[in-house]
Chain A
Amino acid sequence: MEFFRAHVLVCGGTGCTSSNSEKIRQEFEAQIKKNGLDKEVKIVTTGCHGLCAEGPIVVVYPEGAMYTMVRFEDVKEIVDEHLIKGRLVKRLMAGDKNAQDASKSLENVDFFKRQVRIALRNCGIINPESIDEYIAYDGYKALAKALTEMKPEEVVAEIKKSGLRGRGGAGFPTGLKWELTAKAAGDQKYVLCNADEGDPGAFMDRSVLEGDPHSVLEAMAIAGYAVGADQGYIYVRAEYPIAVKRLEIAVKQAREYNLLGKNIFGTNFSFDIELRLGAGAFVCGEETALMTSIEGHRGEPRPKPPFPAVSGLWKKPTLLNNVESYANIPVILNNGADWFTKIGSEKSKGTKVFAVGGKINNTGLVEIPIGTTLREIIYDIGGGIPNGKKFKAAQTGGPSGGCIPASKIDTPMDYEPLKELGSMMGSGGLIVMDEDNCMVDIARFFLEFTVDESCGKCPPCRIGTKRMLEILEKITSGKGEMEDIDKLELLAKNITASALCGLGQSAPQPVLSTLRFFRDEYIAHVKDKKCPAGVCKSMMSYVISADHCKSCGICAKNCPVGAISGEKKMPYSIDQEKCIKCGACMEKCPFKAIFKNA
């Protein structure tokens, strides 16, 4: 055994990688080598910790000291101070950077204290490219238990009992899905993993794949045993290069250990997994489109029934679960369904991961027991809204979901309560909005996304969403009429009723939900030709306050279109004809003399 006195964990998730964590890791290596510490200190690349807003993140054990926003130049200081002299570098520590308390470690940070990490249990803790580390954290124990101690029916029964529901969004009971596939007649069955994460802002699946790929492989093998399949496919988008690379390594390692392959654990059970890379079409996250794509055809959905459990991939019975659902499986088998049912709400057991973004202090991934209120997520874990702004709404479920207004902030985050509000749990994207967000514009943004991503197979989605977008554009550009709102609502209801797949059926949700809670904003756009939040450009203007202007001319210098003019000792003014409303002048004005006029 090699003994190291310290482990330096550098986050290698996509968030931290894009803020240069790879360079930081290399610099750690260089500095550690330079100081002759390479026999004493081990450097480990881990998956995402979830606190992406504070990245790049470095955790140093045995102290468990968490350094945030580490810059290249900081590495030398951490090595010199912490690793050589044993003094924590407090200015880089998470939380209150002036804290006198040196024991501020990972577990004590507010962001982590309130979380219950099941699906993300190993993310940021183990080296995702080491199967041994996964095994050390009870990895493949559940598979061993299932294969040697349990009958397939017992595995299915255990998952059913746990009450786990699909984490991809719809919340279909996972155990029931397994049972249906297990009972379906067929000589060949398949187990699929839906890793085609496409909702704007949602990245929990990517994090699991990058931080703990073996948990998905193990769960798929368990599923294969439970339903009687010997082949699995992971459908992952090619835009996730780090996830793909780590999955490839994981599959290779699992095969070397014969945890995938023939006669696993000396039993009769054989199971293998292959990756299929998606080209990034949103519709391929829909189960039938996903299977069509794996078969090598254009990714388009087909009508259901038959459901995949009966006739799925290559018309064989197929089990399809989402990455996060799979990540829960090994823990459920290890700890038992009874343990799992103690977490969560009455109807929905366990935890859900949310990707919290938008106007919130702690952008990142949080895993919380289902039923935790939106208020707790935003204020206790998320650290509240930046710049003292007021919370206005939270968008969940991405383009298929809706908005939760401030008045419903105590709604528990659970499948049914969210559905009642016209939103949905979805894959767990949670976009927080403050008073500066225009709800009509938000609806327009999501519609634009669905129009772009519609596969075009069925007319309601192909044509209907396009017409809706046109109406929304008309309204946001100040040309809307009152009957447009009614038309929009009628179209939305018809598309929901007639589209072929889940993508089309749910596409009008962002419009319906904003119409329900923020109809007054639509009316303000149409009747008063005003955008209350000052977002829609055609309905707002920038003005210079004559009382505050000191005629410094900075605004004029920064205006990209030369729309601002003025003379010394005279207040400047903006030519509204020329102004493109970029806001550069307001940002640069040292006297805060420029205002948005909504």
Chain B
Amino acid sequence: MKSIAELEAIRNKTLDEIKMRKNSNGIRIVVGMATCGIAAGARPVMNTFVEELGKRQLSDVSVTMTGCIGVCRLEPIVEVFDADGNKVTYVKMTAEKASRVVTEHIVNGRVCSDLTIDAAVNEGK
């Protein structure tokens, strides 16, 4: 260790890796992983989120799982909560759609309105 900058670099890098233990209040992605969700293909969706977030070093975003919401026909369902607790519900997700949500919604803050539950419900009308 030759300088404080070096120490600081290690600190920041590791801090990113362990941030979730410090109760970060960033964005939360919740993937429905009950039987219905898994059967509909929630697993690759979840994997994509984890990969994409890792690639982009988005350490203040947490990915968690949840059970069945009750609209099994629209699974895989993913809900994205922002820091204030507002939520957007995405339905009939796929791995490709998950990457899109990361790029557009998580990184750029633009909700992918065509993938939300509203869009799906209106489509059926």
Which residues of A does B touch, CB under 8 Å? 1-7, 9, 39-40, 61-64, 83-87, 107, 125-126, 130, 132-133, 135-136, 138-141, 144, 148, 257-259, 264-266
Contacts and interface: CB of A to CB of B under 8 A. Distances in A.
Given A130-B14, A136-B10, 4 more contacts: A6-B20, A40-B47, A85-B33, A264-B1
A133 B14 contact: yes
Residue among A39, A61, A138, A257 with most chain B CB within 10 A: A61
Nearest to A263: B2
B26 to A, nearest CB: 10
B39 interface: no
Given A1-B17, A40-B47, A62 B62 contact: yes
B21 A63 contact: no
A63 B28 CA distance: 11
13 contacts: A3-B50, A3-B57, A4-B50, A5-B46, A5-B62, A5-B64, A63-B64, A135-B10, A136-B15, A136-B17, A141-B11, A258-B1, A265-B3
Given A7-B20, A61-B21, A135 B7 contact: yes
Given A140-B7, A144-B7, A257-B1, A132 B20 contact: no
Contacts of B34: 85
B1 A259 contact: yes
Interface string B11-35: 1011111101101100010110110
Given A2-B54, A132-B13, A86 B30 contact: yes
Nearest to B28: A62
A141 B54 contact: no
A311 to B, nearest CB: 34
A144 B24 CA distance: 27
Contacts of B28: 62
A7 B18 contact: yes
B4 A265 contact: yes
B14 A132 contact: yes
A85 B18 CA distance: 22
A83 B67 CA distance: 11
A266 B2 contact: yes
Residue among B1, B10, B15, B23 with most chain A CB within 10 A: B1
A1 B54 CA distance: 6
Interface of B: 1-4, 7, 10-11, 13-18, 20-21, 23-24, 28, 30-31, 33-34, 46-47, 49-51, 53-54, 57-59, 62-67
A44 to B, nearest CB: 9
A326 to B, nearest CB: 20
A583 B33 CA distance: 54
B4 A148 contact: yes
B55 to A, nearest CB: 8
A1 B18 contact: no
Which 4 pairs from chain A and chain B are nearest by CB? A3-B54, A86-B65, A136-B14, A5-B63
Contacts of A141: 7, 11
Contacts of A148: 4
Given A3-B50, A5-B50, A132 B62 contact: no
A87 B18 CA distance: 22
B65 A85 contact: yes
A496 to B, nearest CB: 49
B20 A61 contact: yes
A3 B53 contact: yes
Contacts of A138: 11
A7 B53 contact: no
A58 B48 CA distance: 27
Contacts of A132: 10, 13-14
B2 A258 contact: yes
A85 B1 contact: no
Given A5-B63, A266-B3, A136 B54 contact: no
Nearest to B68: A85
A84 B33 contact: yes
Contact of A39 (B2, B17, B50, B62): B50
A1 B20 contact: no
A442 B33 CA distance: 57
A40 B18 contact: no
A40 to B, nearest CB: 5
Contact of B33 (A86, A125, A136, A257): A86
A334 to B, nearest CB: 12
A144 B4 contact: yes
Contacts of B49: 5
Contacts of B3: 265-266
Contacts of A264: 1
A40 B18 CA distance: 13
Nearest to A39: B50
A314 B24 CA distance: 51
Contacts of B16: 1
Contacts of A1: 13, 16-17, 54, 57, 59
A4 B17 CA distance: 8
Nearest to A134: B14
Nearest to A132: B14
A133 B18 contact: yes
B64 A135 contact: no
A293 to B, nearest CB: 32
B65 A84 contact: yes
Nearest to B10: A135
A185 B98 CA distance: 68
B18 A136 contact: yes
B76 to A, nearest CB: 13
Contacts of B10: 132, 135-136, 257
B21 A7 contact: yes
A40 B31 CA distance: 13
Given A6-B64, A85-B67, A86-B66, A40 B46 contact: yes
Contacts of B67: 85-87
Given A7-B21, A61-B20, A85-B34, A265 B1 contact: yes
Contacts of A259: 1
A62 B20 CA distance: 5
A440 B31 CA distance: 62
A133 to B, nearest CB: 6
A266 B58 CA distance: 33
B99 to A, nearest CB: 14
B66 A135 contact: no
A595 B70 CA distance: 59
Contacts of B66: 85-87
B88 to A, nearest CB: 18
